[in-house]
Chains A and B, each alone.
Chain A
């Protein structure tokens, strides 16, 4: 009975959150974009009219009924390439931001909770990593080591985590002294229980919002790196489509316009969702009986 009751309570709480989120029109719009992208990615085999790898003689053809977004310099259908690339971009964003989030949460929370010199050390580490100009580091790493897209995801994630860590740290520092945390301490709870059951869950809200923003950022980074030519040529990512389009930008504008548009729209979508999450959860903190 207790489990059913708790499930009902949890559902009720989530319901309120969704309703609150839904009030923000921009946030809803962002969510629609993200869900649409997900749907497109999942349905790629069905939606794409052509095989994205198929060369054809019809190079640099403008948009038509046959090729909705035209073809690129090798005669490949841009629309199909974009459709297939949706999944790649989403995966990239998710993995990079996911890695960044995981590292950021743990490395932000644990030193902050235990405090002292460890906390000082890690703060310096965060600052150090954040100072490094990311784009140049990435270009260097990709050029020197590997242009494999999975490698790229991990590296991008590794450059983003201190951002999350700092936010998590700020949350932990402020939650550490709350009465309910001290109540758990007095009950006999150990540090790990307190951290993972009380502090981190209560401090997650701005962190989740920022991780969502980082998805957008990762997608843009991938696009930028591929555009510069250090991306993974074996993958169809939106950045790659842009890359293939850069040579003919002036003559065959559709090569750059559509992928650019897609990138901007998806990044915008995630940004709006991130903002929406952060706005929803902020007024809720004011909730009192």
Chain B
């Protein structure tokens, strides 16, 4: 389900200055967590952002929700550049983009009841004209996310809730302002398996009912496939592949994507997987400024892979790949 672009990202980069690891070394080196990426997020879609740790996917999520400011490039939200928002404009923007975090134990202030946790965004944005009206909004939100009966849970503290319930409360907090975009950073990876399905289905239902768009950040391709309309695959801060979810799963082109797919364990004893072809983590060096970031692990890398960075080009309709091969 595609509409016009809700978010347009152009040439986005985020660099972190880190101190070198030697005791006596004073030189700081630059970590390019996100390196010149561009993509659109359409209204009403679930855009899956897939990558391993160090790929930059979490940073992209944090950039879109303005927990971090871009070092370079621009992020347009409904046409407005959010890079330098401050003050009241920033506050107005925050109504539109919310975030769900990975750790259900850390996402809620342990000293706030469920009621107070959801009340906070309402108070900040002055939603509801009386205490009773806000209470109504809170109870409705809890019911909506499956915490039932809401009256039983409203005065509980986070430590009295299970992981799945906490995550639902976090979702309730995120949607009570009716945001347009929700950035979900590995929202189910710390939950038990039988609970995950419930939360994932809830997120999909909310998308259908409230027309929320999602940036779904995850390292789990199976979950990404289940949730996403389109998928972006990231490696070392760059986008290596982008396209419709099914297209990428069935017809992956970039060698990294193919290896990611090949390494997903499948719970079927008779299915034999394609072998992962990339070089072992033991034999690898990291961080190249020239050429493709995947060159040291790519089984097919050529001369030009070492010298020229591959651009993101459209290989098939809506299917973009950054690879020389």
Q: Do chains A and B touch in the complex (CB under 8 A)?
A: yes
Residues of A within 8 A of B (CB): 2, 5-6, 8-9, 13, 178-180, 182-189, 193, 198, 201-202, 287-289
CB closest chain-B residue, reference A9: B155
| B99 on interface, CB distance cutoff 8 Å | yes
Q: Please state if A201 and B98 are interface contacts (CB–CB under 8 Å).
A: no
Expressed in whole angstroms, the Cα–Cα distance for A198 and B98 within the complex equals 19
Residue pair B111, A188 in contact (C-beta under 8 Å)? no
Instruction: Tell me if A179 and B124 are in contact (CB < 8 A).
Output: no
Q: A9-B113, A186-B67, A188-B125 are in contact. Are A179 and B101 (CB under 8 A)?
A: yes
CB within 8 A of A2: which of B108, B154, B177?
A: B154
- Looking across the interface, which residue of chain B has its beta carbon closest to that of A193? B124
Query: B residues within 8 A CB of A8?
Result: 155
B19 to chain A, nearest CB (A): 15
Contact of B163 among A6, A179, A198, A289 (CB under 8 A): A289
Query: Are B124 and A188 in touch, CB under 8 angstroms?
Result: yes
Contact A13 B157 (CB under 8 A): yes
Binds A, one of B4-12, B44-52, B89-97, B207-215: B89-97
Q: How far is the CA of A2 from the CA of B130 in the complex (A)?
A: 13
Q: Can you add 4 more A-B contacts, CB < 8 Å, to A178-B106, A183-B170?
A: A9-B113, A183-B108, A186-B65, A187-B98
Contact A188 B97 (CB under 8 A): no
Does B69 belong to the interface (CB within 8 Å)? no
Given A180-B108, A183-B107, A202-B110, A189:B120 Cβ within 8 A:
yes
Name the contact of A180 in the complex, choosing from B94, B98, B107 (C-beta under 8 A): B107
B20 to chain A, nearest CB (A): 20
Selected A-B contacts with CB under 8 Å, 29 pairs: A2-B115, A2-B135, A2-B155, A6-B116, A13-B157, A179-B101, A180-B109, A180-B110, A182-B67, A182-B99, A183-B107, A183-B108, A184-B120, A186-B65, A186-B67, A186-B94, A186-B99, A187-B94, A187-B121, A187-B124, A188-B121, A188-B124, A189-B120, A193-B124, A202-B109, A288-B105, A288-B159, A289-B159, A289-B162
Q: Which residue of B lies closest to A178 (CB)?
A: B106
- Chain B proximity of A197: nearest CB distance (Å): 8
Residues of B within 8 A of A189 (CB): 120, 124
* With A182-B99, A183-B99, A188-B124 as contacts: A9 and B106 at CB distance below 8 Å: no
Question: Is B103 touching A179 in the complex (CB atoms < 8 A)?
Answer: yes
Question: What chain A residues lie within 8 Å of B143 (beta carbons)?
Answer: none
Ordered nearest first, which 5 A-B pairs have the shortest CB separation?
Answer: A188-B94, A187-B121, A5-B155, A179-B106, A179-B101
Q: Which of B68-88 contact A (CB under 8 A)?
A: none
B131 within 8 A of A: yes
- Residue B161 CB within 8 A of the other chain: yes
Instruction: From known contacts A2-B135, A8-B155, A289-B162, infer whether A187 and B120 are also in contact, taking CB-CB under 8 Å.
Output: yes
How far, in angstroms, from A187 to B115 measured CA to CA in the complex? 15
Nearest-CB distance from A176 to chain B (Å)?
Answer: 12
Contacts of A180 in B (CB 8 A): 106-110
Report the minimal beta-carbon distance from B244 to chain A, rounded to whole angstroms. 29
Bound together, the chains give a CA A179 to CA B97 distance in angstroms of 16
A9 with B110: CB separation less than 8 A: no
B156 at the interface (CB under 8 A from A): yes
Residue of A at shortest CB range from B185?
A179
Contact B107 A179 (CB under 8 A): yes
Instruction: For residue A284, give the distance in angstroms from its CB to the closest CB of chain B.
Output: 9
